[in-house]
Chain A
Amino acid sequence: MTASRRHHPLWTRAFHAFNVVVLLVMAASGLQIYNANPVFGGQGGPTVPELFTLGGWLAGGRDWHFGFMGLYASNLGLWIALLIQRRRDRLAHSGDLATLNASSNLAKRRVASHRVVYTLMLILLAFGLITGLAMYKPAQFWWLSGLFSFGELFGATSWHTLRVFHLATIPAIALLTVVHLALSWRIGGWLLWRSILA
Chain B
Amino acid sequence: MNRRQFLGLAYSSGSSLLLGGCALNRFSEGVGNATQPLNERIEALLQGKGKVPEFRRDQVDPGALLVNSFNGMPRLDPARYRLRVEGLVRQPLQLNLADLAALPQQEITIRHVCVEGWAAIVNWSGVRLADVLALAGFSSLGGYLAIESADQFFTTWDITSALHPQTLLATGMNGAPLPVVNGAPVRLASPIKLGYKLSKWVTGLEVIPSLDSLRRGTWEDNGYEWFAGL
Residues of A participating in the B interface, judged by any CB pair closer than 8 Å = 10, 13-14, 17-18, 20-21, 24-25, 28, 33-34, 36-37, 39, 42-43, 50-64, 66-68, 70, 137-140, 142, 146, 157, 159, 163, 197-198
Enumerate chain B residues within 8 angstroms of A159, measured Cβ to Cβ.
Answer: 111, 113, 119
Given A20-B10, A137-B46, A67 contacting B3 (CB threshold 8 A): no
Q: Give the docked Cα–Cα distance between A55 and B128 (Å).
A: 37
Enumerate chain B residues within 8 angstroms of A59, measured Cβ to Cβ.
Answer: 28, 32, 222-224
Of the four ranges (under 10, 10 to 19, 20 to 34, 35 or more), the interface on chain B belongs to 35 or more
B115 interface residue, CB < 8 Å from A? yes
Task: Determine if A139 and B191 form an interchain contact, defined as CB atoms under 8 angstroms apart.
Answer: yes
B230 — nearest CB in chain A belongs to which residue? A139
B214 interface residue, CB < 8 Å from A? no
Task: Determine if A60 and B223 form an interchain contact, defined as CB atoms under 8 angstroms apart.
Answer: yes
Q: How many A-B residue pairs have CB under 8 A?
A: 136
Task: Determine if B14 and A24 form an interchain contact, defined as CB atoms under 8 angstroms apart.
Answer: yes
Enumerate chain B residues within 8 angstroms of A64, measured Cβ to Cβ.
Answer: 28, 31
Task: Determine if B118 and A54 form an interchain contact, defined as CB atoms under 8 angstroms apart.
Answer: no
Task: Determine if A67 and B35 form an interchain contact, defined as CB atoms under 8 angstroms apart.
Answer: yes
Task: Determine if B10 and A21 form an interchain contact, defined as CB atoms under 8 angstroms apart.
Answer: yes
New A-B pairs, 17, CB < 8 Å, besides A24-B17, A63-B32: A17-B14, A21-B10, A24-B18, A36-B115, A54-B25, A55-B28, A58-B115, A59-B32, A60-B29, A67-B36, A70-B38, A139-B191, A139-B229, A159-B113, A163-B117, A197-B8, A198-B7
Task: Determine if B230 and A18 form an interchain contact, defined as CB atoms under 8 angstroms apart.
Answer: no
Enumerate chain B residues within 8 angstroms of A163, measured Cβ to Cβ.
Answer: 117
Task: Determine if B46 and A62 form an interchain contact, defined as CB atoms under 8 angstroms apart.
Answer: no
A17 — nearest CB in chain B belongs to which residue? B10
Enumerate chain A residues within 8 angstroms of B225, measured Cβ to Cβ.
Answer: 62, 66
B91 interface residue, CB < 8 Å from A? no
Enumerate chain A residues within 8 angstroms of B3, measured Cβ to Cβ.
Answer: 10
Residues of B participating in the A interface, judged by any CB pair closer than 8 Å = 3-4, 7-8, 10-11, 13-14, 17-19, 21-22, 24-26, 28-29, 31-32, 34-36, 38-39, 43, 46-48, 52-53, 59, 61, 64, 66, 110-111, 113-119, 121, 191-192, 222-225, 229-230
Task: Determine if A198 and B18 form an interchain contact, defined as CB atoms under 8 angstroms apart.
Answer: no
Task: Determine if B17 and A56 form an interchain contact, defined as CB atoms under 8 angstroms apart.
Answer: no
Tell me the minimal C-beta distance from B25 to chain A in angstroms.
Answer: 4
B38 — nearest CB in chain A belongs to which residue? A70
Task: Determine if B28 and A37 form an interchain contact, defined as CB atoms under 8 angstroms apart.
Answer: no
Given A36-B117, A139-B191, A62 contacting B32 (CB threshold 8 A): yes
Main SS class of interface, A: helix
Given A18-B10, A20-B10, A50 contacting B17 (CB threshold 8 A): no
Tell me the minimal C-beta distance from B153 to chain A in angstroms.
Answer: 17
Q: Give the docked Cα–Cα distance between A56 and B28 (Å).
A: 8
Q: Give the docked Cα–Cα distance between A57 and B21 (Å).
A: 12
B225 — nearest CB in chain A belongs to which residue? A62
Candidates B4, B21, B32; contact of A67 at CB < 8 Å:
B32
Enumerate chain B residues within 8 angstroms of A198, measured Cβ to Cβ.
Answer: 4, 7-8
Enumerate chain B residues within 8 angstroms of A20, measured Cβ to Cβ.
Answer: 10-11, 14
Q: Give the docked Cα–Cα distance between A68 and B224 (Å).
A: 16
Enumerate chain A residues within 8 angstroms of B121, measured Cβ to Cβ.
Answer: 157
Given A33-B117, A59-B222, A138-B113, A52 contacting B7 (CB threshold 8 A): no
Q: Give the docked Cα–Cα distance between A122 and B39 (Å).
A: 24
Given A140-B46, A140-B48, A43 contacting B31 (CB threshold 8 A): no
Tell me the minimal C-beta distance from A13 to chain B in angstroms.
Answer: 6
Candidates A42, A52, A57; contact of B118 at CB < 8 Å:
A42
Q: Give the docked Cα–Cα distance between A64 and B33 (Å).
A: 10
- Could you name 19 residue pairs across A and B whose Cβ atoms are closer than 8 Å? A17-B10, A20-B14, A21-B10, A28-B17, A37-B118, A51-B19, A53-B21, A54-B24, A54-B25, A59-B32, A63-B32, A66-B225, A137-B229, A140-B229, A142-B53, A157-B61, A157-B64, A197-B8, A198-B7
